[in-house]
Amino acid sequence: MSIIKATLRRELLIAFRSPGDIINPLMFFVIAVSLFPLGVGADQAFLSEIAPGVVWVTALLAVMLSMDSLFRADYEDGSLEQLLLSPQPLYFIILAKVSSHWLVSGLPLVILAPVFASMLALPEGGMFPLVAGLLIGTPILTLLGAVGMALTVGLSRSGLLLSVLILPLYIPVLVFGTGIVNSALNSIDISGLLALLGAMLVLALCLAPLAIIAALRISVSL
C-alpha cells in the first residue's frame, strides 16, 4: 500500500535530517553501558555474569528515551490532527510510523549490542541469543513505548510520567530477553523462549496500534 511506503519515507527523511534524534539514544546506550564496569569493577567473571542484564536494561531505557521524538513534533506542528483525519486506514499509518522509528532507534541498538556485550565479557555463546532476543524484543518495547508516548504527548510535563507508565509494562520483555541469554549460556534450548517472545511481538503488533490510535485521539482533543 502506498500510504505505508509514503509514511516510511516521510519518517525516515525527517529522522535523517535531524540526526540528533537517532544518535542521542545510541549515545545514551553507549555511555550507560560503559558506566557499569566503572561502577562495579572490571572483574571479567563478574562482568560476564551481569552482561546480559546490563545490555538489556540499558537498551530498554534507551528505547524509552528515544520515544519522545515519535509524536512530539507531529503533535506540536498539527500534523497529528491531519493524520487522524486521514481517510486511509490509521492502523497501517501508525504501524508504518512506529516501524520507521524502530528502524532508526531500535535497530542500531541491536547492531551495536554485540560490541558492548563483548566489552562486558559476555561469552561467545551468549552473543546470538542476545542479538536475536533484542531483534524480537526491541520492536515490542517501541510499540509499548509508543502507547505511553501517545498517552502523554499532549501533557506539558510528560518526561518522567512516561517512564512510570511504561517501565512496568517492559518487564516481561526484559525477563524473557535476559532469560534467553542466560538459558543459552547454561546450554538450555532457547527456541521455545524465542517463540514466546515472537508471540508477544505479534500480540503487540496487533493490539498496540489500536491503543495508540485511541490515545492519540485523546491527546489531540486536548
Partner 1 sequence: MLTVNNLYCERDERVLFQNLDFSVAEGEAWQIQGSNGSGKTTLLRILCGLNDEFTGEILWRGIEQRKARQDFNREVFYLGHAPAINKALTAKENLSWYCASRGLTNTDQIKTVLNSFNLYGYEDMPCYLMSAGQQRRVSLARMLLSQAMLWMLDEPFTALDKQGVLELEVLLSEHAKTGGSIILTTHHNLQMDYPLQSIDLDALAGLVAA
Partner 2 sequence: MWQWFFKLSSPKWFYTISGQLMPWLATLTTLLLGVGLVWGLAFTPPDYQMGENYRIAYIHVPSAAIAMGCYYMMACMAAAFLIWRIKMADMIAKACAPVGMTFTALALFTGSVWGIPTWGTWWIWDARLTSTLIMLFLFIGVMALRSAYDSEAAGAKATAVLTLVGVVNVPIITYSVKWWNTLHQGASSLSLSNTAANPPQIWVPAFFVGFGLLGFYLIAIILRTRNEILMRERRTEWVDEILSASKSKGQGLS
Which residues lie near partner 2 (CB under 8 A)? 144, 147, 151-152, 154-155, 157-158, 161, 164-165, 167-169, 171-172, 175-176, 179, 182-183, 200, 203, 207-208, 211, 214-215, 218-219, 221-222
| Cα dihedral across residues 23, 29, 32, 33: positive or negative | negative
Of 85, 124, 168, 189, which lies in the binding site for partner 1, with binding defined by CB under 8 A?
A: 85
Q: Does 26 bind partner 1 (CB under 8 A)?
A: no
Least distance to partner 1, CB of residue 13, Å: 6
Q: Which is nearer to partner 2, 99 or 152 (CB)?
A: 152
Q: Does 72 bind partner 1 (CB under 8 A)?
A: no
Q: Does 78 bind partner 1 (CB under 8 A)?
A: yes
Q: Which is nearer to partner 1, 156 or 191 (CB)?
A: 156
Q: Does 13 bind partner 1 (CB under 8 A)?
A: yes
Tally of CB atoms within 10 A around 86: 11
Q: Which is nearer to partner 2, 112 or 216 (CB)?
A: 216
Give which of partner 1, partner 2, none residue 13 binds (C-beta under 5 to 8 Å, depending on kind). Answer: partner 1
Give which of partner 1, partner 2, none residue 147 binds (C-beta under 5 to 8 Å, depending on kind). Answer: partner 2
Quickly tell me which residue has 496500534 as its cell: 209
Q: Which is nearer to partner 2, 15 or 153 (CB)?
A: 153
CA 197 to chain centroid: 14
In three state form, how does the secondary structure of the chain look?
A: CHHHHHHHHHHHHHHHHCCHHHHHHHHHHHHHHHHHHHHHCCCHHHHHHHHHHHHHHHHHHHHHHHCHHHHHHHHHHCHHHHHHCCCCCHHHHHHHHHHHHHHHHHHHHHHHHHHHHHHCCCCHHHHHHHHHHHHHHHHHHHHHHHHHHHHHCCCCCCHHHHHHHHHHHHHHHHHHHHHHHHHHHCCCCCHHHHHHHHHHHHHHHHHHHHHHHHHHHHHHCC
Give the total of residues touching partner 1 (CB under 8 A): 28
Q: Which is nearer to partner 2, 107 or 169 (CB)?
A: 169
Rounded CA separation 92/220 (Å): 19
Q: Which is nearer to partner 1, 2 or 187 (CB)?
A: 2
Binding site for partner 1 (CB under 8 A): 2-3, 5-7, 9-10, 13-14, 17-18, 73-74, 76-79, 81-88, 93, 220-221
